[in-house]
């Protein structure tokens, strides 16, 4: 089994995903995804890097008043690493989403009423930020769906202790494929750093390069393609949803004996509704293939808050691959289909 590893010098050769990939189509002008679709939704809003850099304050570590790496610097460092690693490819501008705005005011306006504040006297920053950077010239087609290579970053100040002295800061970074039909993210273990702790921008840049180098796109595409080869009945689909609902009610000791399942009750309900109503991934004729099931999971995950988005993206992959194997007799995920 030949593994394809991306390196900075491979350029267009990366478009050939080897024996794992099938029916590849190479074009020069690649249309972008529907701008009305977002890779994450929940309570987020779209902002520009300029807004983050010039209109938002930068939080500090309280005990020594040392600056954190702000959201704009995070995005710019990963964008620089992406452009350097994938030199020769088309790199889209970052799509930035933020949530949980933290409002303040300048010192001279401290005694004013809120409705008397001038715009120049207001300060804001966002507790959570996520972004995606697409590489549209690296793509593949799975089950009729075009997948673009995409880099996703997440930063959440609520997962750090800003009341302490300066310490390595936490970032999350992933590289995987984005389904252009729905902007669902396909994240695998080798394309995800869930605990990237750095002290400066240089370490952040190098961490991104290391992730890109270790990512194996051919293996991921191969696994995604195999999902379309397995079909479940509507009865099995309902059985899985019921087990997913039951999982969350189990004692922690019993949950630890099973593969993890991170989707919430609301998201499981969303999977059920989409099975009936989703024009791209609904069940037809009482059957559902595992590729569609996977996209029902990743579609439901788009309602996650920013700080849990990538963990649940990876878990959606784990669940889809695991249940697919269980349908072929593997024991690890058998509980979900029994």
pLDDT at 259 over 80: yes
For the purposes of burial, counting CB atoms within 10 Å of the CB of 239, is it exposed (0-12), middle (13-18) or buried (19 or more)? middle
| Mean pLDDT, residues 156-175 taken together | 95
pLDDT at 338: 87
pLDDT at 316: 97
Proportion of the chain above pLDDT 90, given as a percent: 82
| Mean pLDDT, residues 60-67 taken together | 93
* C-alpha distance from residue 259 to each of 11, 13, 110, 209 (Å): 38, 37, 51, 30
Looking at per-residue pLDDT, the higher value among 13 and 71 belongs to 71
pLDDT at 17 over 80: no
pLDDT at 35: 53
pLDDT at 268 over 90: yes
How far is the C-alpha of 231 from the C-alpha of 324, rounded, in Å? 9
Nearest to 278 by CA among 186, 142, 184: 184
pLDDT at 170 over 50: yes
Nearest to 22 by CA among 192, 141, 145: 141
Q: Read off the pLDDT band of 23 (50, 70, 90).
A: very low
Which own/partner pairs from 267-271 qualify as long-range (CB within 8 Å, at least 24 positions apart)? 267/300, 267/301, 267/303, 267/304, 267/312, 268/241, 268/244, 268/300, 270/299, 270/300, 270/303, 271/241, 271/296, 271/297, 271/299, 271/300
| Mean pLDDT, residues 167-194 taken together | 96
Q: Read off the pLDDT band of 13 (50, 70, 90).
A: very low
pLDDT at 310 over 70: yes
Lowest-pLDDT range, 27-41, 160-174, 200-214?
27-41
CB-facing half-sphere around the CA of 127: CA atoms within 13 A: 16
How far is the C-alpha of 261 from the C-alpha of 247, rounded, in Å? 8
Phi and psi of 316, rounded to 5°?
-60, -40
pLDDT at 6 over 70: no
| Mean pLDDT, residues 153-161 taken together | 95
How far is the C-alpha of 170 from the C-alpha of 157, rounded, in Å? 8
Alpha helices in 228-289 (DSSP H): 234-247, 252-255, 265-277
pLDDT at 29 over 90: no
Nearest to 221 by CA among 146, 323, 137, 153: 146
Which stretch of DSSP H or E encloses residue 175?
strand 169-179
Lowest-pLDDT range, 26-35, 232-241, 319-328?
26-35
| Mean pLDDT, residues 304-333 taken together | 96
What pLDDT digit, counting tens, does each position of 88-116 carry? Answer: 999 999 999 999 999 999 888 989 898 99
pLDDT at 30 over 50: no
pLDDT at 331: 95
pLDDT at 18: 39
What pLDDT digit, counting tens, does each position of 70-84 carry? Answer: 999 999 999 999 999
pLDDT at 2: 40
Average pLDDT, the chain: 89
| Mean pLDDT, residues 235-256 taken together | 96
Structure tokens at 167: 């310490």
DSSP 309: H
What pLDDT digit, counting tens, does each position of 274-296 carry? Answer: 999 999 999 988 899 999 999 99
DSSP 119: G
| Mean pLDDT, residues 237-255 taken together | 96
């Amino acid at each position: 089994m030949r593994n394809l590893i991306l390196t900075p010098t491979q350029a267009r050769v990366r478009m050939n995903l080897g024996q794992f990939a099938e029916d590849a189509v190479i074009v020069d002008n690649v249309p972008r995804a529907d701008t009305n679709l977002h890779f994450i939704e929940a309570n987020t809003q779209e902002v520009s890097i300029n807004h983050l850099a010039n209109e938002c304050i930068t939080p500090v570590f309280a005990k020594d008043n040392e600056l954190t790496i702000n959201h704009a610097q995070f995005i710019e460092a990963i964008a620089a690493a992406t452009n350097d690693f994938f030199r020769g490819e088309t790199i889209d501008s970052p799509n930035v989403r933020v949530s949980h705005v933290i409002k303040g005011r300048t010192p001279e306006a401290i005694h004013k009423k809120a409705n008397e504040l001038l715009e120049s006297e207001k300060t804001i920053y966002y507790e959570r930020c996520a972004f995606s950077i697409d590489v549209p010239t690296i793509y593949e087609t799975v089950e009729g769906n075009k997948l673009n290579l995409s880099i996703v970053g997440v930063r959440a100040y609520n997962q750090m202790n800003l009341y302490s002295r300066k310490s390595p800061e936490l970032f999350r970074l992933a590289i995987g494929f984005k389904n252009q039909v729905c902007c669902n993210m396909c994240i695998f273990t080798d394309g995800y750093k869930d605990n990237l702790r750095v002290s400066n921008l240089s370490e952040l840049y190098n961490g991104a390069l290391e992730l890109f180098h270790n990512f194996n796109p051919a293996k991921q595409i191969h696994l995604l393609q195999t999902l379309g080869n397995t079909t479940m009945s509507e009865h099995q689909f309902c059985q899985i949803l019921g087990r997913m609902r039951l999982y969350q009610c189990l004692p922690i000791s019993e949950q630890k004996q099973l593969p993890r399942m991170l989707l919430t009750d609301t998201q499981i309900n969303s999977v059920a509704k989409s099975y009936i109503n989703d024009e791209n991934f609904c069940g037809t004729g009482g059957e559902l293939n595992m590729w569609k099931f996977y996209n029902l999971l990743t579609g439901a995950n788009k309602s996650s808050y920013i700080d849990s988005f990538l963990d649940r993206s990876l878990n959606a992959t784990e669940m889809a691959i695991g249940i697919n194997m269980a349908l072929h007799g593997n024991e690890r995920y058998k509980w979900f289909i029994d």
